[in-house]
Structure 1
Amino acid sequence: MVAKLKQLSLLTAALFMAFGIFSLVPGKLVFALNQTGEILKPVITMPQGNHPSFTYDSLGKPDPFRPFINFNAIERPIPTKEPKTPLERYSLNQFKLVGILMAGKHFAMVEDPEQISYTITEGDQLGNLSGTVEEIRENEIVIAEPYLDI
């Protein structure tokens, strides 16, 4: 009989904890019963005594509601540079790949919008946004252009 009573009390405690009827928070737990005998939501009162006080000092700290990036500072005109070669006069999508030669050193032939052909190799500048030919593959050219990622 005592063993069954222990099991029943453990089961009741587990159910109360699972459904949030009481918790292990330090303080006094007060149960409320309505007129039909049902247990209402418990009220937890915190023990009286000295609690450490906390005040937030924002002096010298960034405002958490302001963005990290100042977008106004980024909106500056991009300095225009004078193209050094005819290959730097046009954007990349205006060039047409005519052919690739892969004998020892790789070469590629591109054609500008005026239908003038140029031979390029890895390391050459191509395009009006300072693109650099990184690699010449069997059927494509890999070009890297610097950009600002915000």
Structure 2
Amino acid sequence: MTGPEPIRVLLVDAEPLQRSGWRLAIDSQADLEVVAEAGDGVQALALLRRTPVDVAVLDVRLPRMSGAQLAKKVAEDARVRLIQRSPVTRVVLVTAADLDHWERVGGELGVDAVLTKDVDPERLFAAIRDAAAVRRAG
């Protein structure tokens, strides 16, 4: 007998070291799996158009397309919706600064959580799990 499928995560951050640290932490959890990474918003959108993921962890400051723009695209882009199916991939935004501003923006965009980049790993895991639970319940 096998357990439930792991929560499939996309990591999007311009800094490779940040992505690798998050990958190590997330992949240490039996119920979480990083299935793709991207260094900018355009690359992430292309991945979302071909790779099913449950939760995307997006830095708000990305080259070529911001995390906020990408979060909006996740919900609106027909090609993303075709691959991700309904309900659409859930989003966790991360920011290095101005958390209050991004929490407000995140609320307007309907993202599941807004966290600081120096977030405690357990809090990041909880945000990913909570977002995936919303997706799987929908």
Short-chain TM bin: under 0.3
Q: Compute the TM-score of the two structures, normalised by the length of structure 1.
A: 0.19
Structure showing greater Rg: 1
Specify which structure has the bigger relative contact order, considering alpha-carbon pairs within 8 angstroms and separated by 6 or more residues.
2
TM-score for both structures, normalised by structure 2: 0.20
Structure showing the higher helix proportion among its residues: 2
